[in-house]
Chain A
């Protein structure tokens, strides 16, 4: 017969999001918690991020990825939380039933009072952007290369071109250079980098690696292993400009062309997905459209800094705890929801809805702008009446914008909160 076990809270994913959420839920009084992790250890992608720069906000010091993870793992190990490693969630249902599989225990069904989704994200691949050319070895995503190098201890190539200036691509440009490989160029199809400014300075400029903006790869050459790639300049509509082709002799092409939240389980449970973030639509408590299922970290929207993942995940952990600790029979109070709307210049706003009845004193709005702005303002309106305006010297899609909105600012009865960028005249 199938084994069935019960937990008050199940956290799916043992990366930074899941760890912080689980610890916070325990501190909030939840007695039975399980963290389910498919890998052999906790910590998620942090374990392969051996560079520093983590924790500046959270711990006011510079840690490496494994160090940052270690602090939460130690917290977790203080007790009260079951960790299931090498365990894959096969099914998640809207009634918070899970089916998991592992070599040790076979198939287990789990019934949870609440669930927190913290599955993280995956990298976009060559296929997602349909780069033409041959299909040799030597084309891989920057994160996979990072794993081979930092965790497994292998070299992935000697002469490297990197497409995409997302943070992982920038970090890997430096990492490969330090290991003696030659990074010929980092190409970015947009006219601006998708990574953090500090990474552009510390990973490219310090090593004299050229960043070619408005460039993309238009051909891959080599039958068995990459022998070269063709970089080409693109116009404003991102179409390659004929005559600008330049061939680079290299054996490796790394791709850092974006991250996609991993929401296969969320879809299985019938959770609404935001087409812009590609993560669940959540309220300010990180609750998804399915009551009792929460989400945090990169599965909701892709973050730049792990510190903010931690903050968001604690919020999910607290809210899930509240749900679990409240009497199960008590129905949710009727809620009036405020929808957040991404206006001019804004790519997305998170949370997508604010549940007024449960609103705290303040809500942190997280958003990304669509392009680079120098000296602009972000305006927040409630039902089309401006309630807040804040100037920013520099806005870029690669740097998430956070705005704290105190609930006193929002007139009661408001139905929408709109955000837009106001460019200076």
Chain B
């Protein structure tokens, strides 16, 4: 059985950024992920916003870590070569009572020292967002809000952590945890690992993981809250320039409209509490999608929904106390819960990672730093973002970068092969889509799907029929012609 200093349960954006942060220290770290890829839970389906941080009360972890995390994103984006654009956000008020809410948000934001926060009048808001509904009378403008791609952050953080020595075990679903005075043994169906410390970053499953060690003690509950989204074609790019929110309500920040880091337009989410056991219910439903559409239509006019390329739903883990739970367990020694990381979890992620590392450091003062830590991820080659001269030089060096596979997003064979062979590389069709974007465009993989499958099978030395979309049973092809099917 392999032995580690730290086992992190869950390789979402929280688990992976913690893993990377811990590599600053001389620690043997393993990430245990039940999915077949990193970033396949809450991380793969959310609004992709790095919030300015005025929403959560200034005394909460959510409020404090959001602001800290936001400020760390420039460096993070630079080091990990992930997209981040500080485009600013607007919270729209449509009447006097909503304007009063803006004042409260502004006050809260000031307490948190959020830079540049101001309330602007309706005229200026319309100037900044020409498609804004005529009802808008004022807006809270937060220039520090930004957009990123959460799964790219997680993939990149995981890759960089692994470059610095961390290990990743995919398909490792922790079923039981045994404790001794010095360590934990985390058991999956066919494998176990031993670790002195456990960090529980299991997203919507964090309550179940904690219950494995908490015994009869009272523990926290994580309730999945579902949000559904529309994603519009890049042809709709330019429709919206900032992250545009309605006034927040009791169920959260409301249905937002924003550009994505890759130039699409995202619209959502609604907010629906599911039962505690519904931790995989990521299906979309017609009634909630209709609600998202109607909500968005009251915020902006003439939204080009006919350019929709996909709809999706994500779950966020809602803690009972409404704030992040980030603490060493009072009952179970060397067990750290990082749970209930709902919005603004993505924004706070880098700050959460630092806080977790500091928690461990405080409890383990003997810990040594790792002088060899390299925070820089090897940059990706993206043909679509190069000048013609740079492209030409790259293709001469490696002709696979001249072989266009995805016509919608302009992704070459070279980029796909690279996405497969990096640390924490993609093994599935969706995994490749998250890393290099073939299939993320308007044809949704209709043209490039067969080509990407072929490349995956070749590079992984397996049969094309073994290539899956995402999960274990998600085969795309059911057999070879003339040989009968699987079922």
> Residues on A close to B: CB < 8 A?
2, 38, 86, 88, 90, 99, 101-107, 109, 122-123, 125-128, 130, 132-138, 140-141, 143-144, 147-149, 151-159, 179-181, 218-220, 223-225, 240, 251-252, 267
Contact = CB atoms under 8 A, between A and B. Distances in A.
Interface in B270-316: 280, 282-286, 289, 308-312
A132 B281 CA distance: 13
Contacts of B474: 136-137, 224-225
A156 B450 contact: no
B218 interface: no
Contacts of B481: 149, 153-155, 179
Contacts of A138: 476
Contacts of B311: 127, 130, 132
B407 A88 contact: yes
Contact of A137 (B231, B447, B475): B475
A130 B450 contact: no
B367 to A, nearest CB: 41
A218 B464 contact: no
A159 B446 CA distance: 20
23 contacts: A103-B395, A106-B391, A107-B388, A123-B446, A125-B443, A126-B310, A128-B308, A130-B308, A132-B311, A133-B283, A137-B470, A137-B474, A140-B446, A144-B449, A147-B450, A148-B450, A154-B477, A154-B478, A181-B485, A218-B286, A219-B283, A223-B471, A224-B469
Top 4 nearest A-B pairs (CB, nearest first) are: A224-B473, A127-B310, A103-B402, A137-B469
Q: Give chain B's interface secondary structure class.
A: mixed
Contact of B478 (A86, A158, A218): A158
B406 to A, nearest CB: 10
Contacts of A102: 402-403
A153 B404 CA distance: 23
A114 B413 CA distance: 31
B196 interface: no
Interface in B241-285: 280, 282-285
**Of residues A90, A159, A220, which shows the largest number of chain B Cβ atoms within 10 Å of its Cβ?**
A90
Contact of B389 (A2, A127, A132): A2
Contact of A107 (B284, B286, B391, B445): B391
Contact of B407 (A38, A104, A157): A38
Nearest to A154: B477
A134 B477 contact: no
B130 to A, nearest CB: 20
A132 B470 contact: no
A119 to B, nearest CB: 9
B366 interface: no
Nearest to A119: B407
A143 B444 CA distance: 13
Contact of B487 (A122, A140, A158): A158
A127 B444 contact: yes
A242 to B, nearest CB: 11
Given A38-B407, A224-B468, 19 more contacts: A101-B391, A101-B402, A103-B399, A103-B402, A106-B402, A107-B395, A123-B446, A127-B308, A132-B283, A135-B312, A137-B474, A140-B446, A155-B479, A156-B476, A158-B478, A219-B283, A225-B473, A225-B474, A252-B478
A141 B309 CA distance: 13
A99 B403 contact: no
Contacts of A149: 481
Contacts of A104: 399, 402
Contact of B446 (A106, A132, A144, A252): A144
B126 interface: no
B388 A132 contact: no
Contacts of B446: 122-123, 125, 140-141, 143-144
Contacts of A125: 309-310, 442-444, 446
B5 interface: no
Nearest to A147: B450
Interface in B429-473: 442-447, 449-450, 464-465, 468-473
A141 B439 CA distance: 13
B288 to A, nearest CB: 8
B484 interface: yes
B443 A106 contact: no
A126 B450 CA distance: 18
Contact of A106 (B396, B410, B447): B396
A123 B444 CA distance: 10
B327 interface: no
B284 A128 contact: no
A2 B473 contact: no
A86 B412 CA distance: 12
B392 interface: yes
Nearest to B228: A132
A219 to B, nearest CB: 8
Given A103-B400, A107-B391, A154 B470 contact: no
**Of residues B310, B403, B464, B478, which shows the largest number of chain A Cβ atoms within 10 Å of its Cβ?**
B478
B283 A134 contact: yes
Contacts of A137: 468-470, 474-476
B217 interface: no
A29 B219 CA distance: 83
Contacts of A135: 282-283, 312
Nearest to B449: A144
A144 B447 CA distance: 7
A2 B388 contact: yes
B309 A155 contact: no
A154 B486 CA distance: 12
A148 B477 contact: yes
Interface string B383-411: 10000110110011001111110010010
B59 interface: no
A132 B291 CA distance: 13
Contacts of B476: 137-138, 140, 156
B289 A122 contact: no
B230 interface: yes
A247 to B, nearest CB: 14
